[in-house]
């Protein structure tokens, strides 16, 4: 992943050095397991732990000859481990190391993402309560529907990311699995007690039945959750973009001192942060399909998944870490233009009371079909002739047959439309 969209803490999880150190940790843990059951002498174990050293550059140089990264790794650490170096990788296959270490990396990445979400949730809750009474127009299909509040919109996002927190927690549990079970998972050359020891040491669950690898349905599920979270980030960012349009101008993402919006037009304040989130989310979502494709492998394993996983897991988690924190910044520091929200409501000419009027007429015994046609006619007249819907209704002789002036006045009460929001916001307390 390019540096521009990479935060240091997540980047460190996916460094080559961190990966190889985890490989070494697992190799040593396997030796400890062998020692525990009496296969490898304690003196040999102590000697290896004292002398073994990791040399990343040398591993890469060896790999140029071997064409196999794990063999290069084992060769290099064995050379440094002293006279007992031959015990390293005893009874193991490459995927014992690769898949178990990948689980550790994905667990670390998932936990960092959980922290990102938790921080974001605090701000979403705070902002939702701050704007719980800030009335704005609700829109469906991009068209004025009925009023809601900006806090209500934010609360919807809050509960969406709260669900994502639960999903990520479960996804981490699903991926938190190791295997030290040998070439096809049958423990033909490794004792199951070694796997038990290694997994316990790293707080991993044991794969119930592995082949040469841990089944990729676990990895696909993890990345699917990452993809869903990215899609929700895109959803929120898209709404910010829409609300920042000149014709609405109800919300604007932060715009720093000295920032420029356009090289040609000084007046521009473009929602570039939100647009960036939308673009990067597309990459993450596409990566999910790669993880799905990796489930189906030949027999007990092929390596068609391997090269792809070297890209999709680091890139997806790095990008999600970036866009969540960027979205968090947007929501925390955004400008909210309540006057423009009120202006846009006023521009509606009270047409958003159409459903209230329809329902009231129906309760008066008017057929729904006729009542709908009657209200629609007046609504369109208000919209396209730029007339106040309330006045049109009060002046309509046909409507006056069914409703008194006082009943019409009662219909056009915005507080009534919003009456249930108070109890809904109690869910945030």
pLDDT in tens, 270-328: 899 999 999 999 999 999 999 999 999 999 998 989 999 999 999 999 999 999 999 99
Give the mean pLDDT of 176-198.
Answer: 96
Tell me the pLDDT band of 191, cut-offs 50, 70 and 90.
very high
Q: What is the pLDDT of residue 421?
A: 94
Nearest Cα to 175, choosing from 291, 281, 289?
Answer: 291
Q: What is the pLDDT of residue 397?
A: 94
Tell me the pLDDT band of 269, cut-offs 50, 70 and 90.
confident
Nearest Cα to 202, choosing from 113, 310, 107, 110?
Answer: 107
Q: What is the pLDDT of residue 428?
A: 87
Q: 251: helix, coil or strand? A: strand
Q: What is the pLDDT of residue 78?
A: 96
pLDDT(402) > 80: yes
First-to-last C-alpha distance (Å) of the chain: 40
What does the H/E/C string look like for 202-230?
CCCEECCCCCCCCCCHHHHHHHHHHHHHH
pLDDT(396) > 70: yes
pLDDT(112) > 70: yes
Tell me the pLDDT band of 263, cut-offs 50, 70 and 90.
low
Q: What is the pLDDT of residue 109?
A: 98
Give the mean pLDDT of 98-119.
Answer: 98
* Cα–Cα distance, 194 to 191 (Å, whole number): 6
pLDDT(266) > 90: no
Q: What is the pLDDT of residue 24?
A: 98
pLDDT(71) > 70: yes
Backbone angles phi, psi at 135, to 5 degrees: -75, 135
Which two three-digit tokens encode residue 158?
């809050």
User: What domains are there in the chain, each with its CATH number?
Assistant: 3-87 (1.10.275.10), 94-252+264-344 (1.20.200.10), 351-411 (1.10.40.30)
Q: What is the pLDDT of residue 268?
A: 73
Give the mean pLDDT of 37-54.
Answer: 96
Residue 389 near residue 349 (C-beta atoms within 8 A): yes
pLDDT digits (tens, 9 = 90+) for 212-225: 999 999 999 999 99
Give the mean pLDDT of 185-195.
Answer: 96
Q: What is the pLDDT of residue 331?
A: 98
For the beta carbon of residue 345, count every other beta carbon within 10 angstroms.
17
Contacts of residue 222, defined as CB under 8 A and 6 or more positions apart, other chains included, come to 106, 110, 171, 172, 174, 175, 291
Tell me the pLDDT band of 1, cut-offs 50, 70 and 90.
low
Q: What is the pLDDT of residue 64?
A: 95
For the annotated catalytic residues, the residue numbers are 141, 262
pLDDT(264) > 80: no
pLDDT digits (tens, 9 = 90+) for 335-382: 999 999 999 999 999 999 999 999 999 999 999 999 999 999 999 999
Give the mean pLDDT of 133-159.
Answer: 97
pLDDT(256) > 90: no
Least-confidence region, from 53-57, 204-208, 299-303: 299-303
Torsion of CA 296, 298, 301, 303, to 10 degrees: -80
List 137's β-bridge partners, or say none.
147
Q: Give the sign of the dihedral formed by CA 396, CA 399, CA 401, CA 406.
A: negative
Q: Mean of the per-residue pLDDT values for the chain? A: 95
């Amino acid at each position: 992943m390019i540096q521009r969209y990479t935060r240091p803490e997540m980047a460190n999880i996916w460094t080559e050095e961190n990966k190889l150190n985890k490989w070494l940790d697992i190799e040593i843990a396997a030796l400890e397991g062998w020692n525990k059951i009496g296969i490898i002498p304690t003196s040999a174990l102590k000697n290896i732990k004292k002398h073994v050293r990791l040399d990343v550059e040398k591993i890469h140089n060896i790999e140029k000859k071997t064409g196999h990264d794990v063999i290069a790794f084992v060769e290099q650490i064995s050379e440094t481990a002293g006279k007992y170096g031959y015990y390293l990788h005893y009874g193991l296959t490459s995927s014992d190391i690769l898949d178990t270490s990948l689980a550790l990396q994905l667990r670390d990445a998932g936990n960092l993402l959980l922290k990102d979400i938790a921080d974001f949730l605090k701000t979403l809750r705070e902002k939702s309560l701050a704007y719980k009474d800030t009335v704005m127009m609700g829109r469906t299909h991009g068209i004025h529907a009925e009023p809601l509040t900006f806090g209500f919109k934010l609360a919807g996002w809050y509960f969406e990311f709260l669900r994502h927190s639960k999903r990520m927690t479960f996804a981490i549990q699903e991926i938190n699995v190791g295997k030290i079970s040998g070439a096809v998972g049958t423990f033909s050359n490794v004792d199951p007690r070694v796997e038990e020891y290694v997994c316990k040491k790293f707080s991993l669950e044991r794969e119930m039945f592995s082949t040469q690898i841990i089944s990729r349905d676990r990895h696909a599920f993890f990345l699917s959750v990452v993809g869903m979270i990215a899609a929700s980030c895109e959803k929120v960012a898209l709404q910010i973009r829409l609300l920042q349009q000149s014709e609405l101008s109800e919300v604007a993402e932060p715009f720093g001192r000295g920032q420029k919006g356009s090289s040609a037009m000084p007046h521009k304040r473009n929602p570039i942060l939100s647009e960036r989130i939308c673009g990067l989310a597309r990459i993450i979502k596409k990566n999910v399909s790669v993880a799905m494709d990796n489930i189906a492998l030949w027999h007990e394993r092929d390596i068609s998944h391997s090269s792809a996983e070297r890209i999709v897991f680091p890139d997806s988690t790095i990008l999600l870490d970036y866009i969540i924190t960027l979205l968090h910044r947007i929501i925390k520091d955004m400008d909210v233009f309540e006057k423009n929200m009120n202006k846009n409501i006023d521009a509606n000419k009270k047409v958003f009371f159409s459903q209230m009027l329809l329902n009231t007429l129906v309760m008066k015994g008017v057929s729904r079909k006729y009542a709908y046609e009657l209200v629609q006619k007046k609504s369109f007249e208000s919209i396209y002739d730029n007339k106040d819907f309330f006045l049109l209704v009060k002046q309509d002789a046909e409507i006056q047959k069914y409703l008194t002036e006082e009943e019409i006045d009662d219909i056009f009460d915005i507080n009534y439309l919003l009456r249930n929001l108070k109890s809904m916001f109690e869910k945030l307390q």
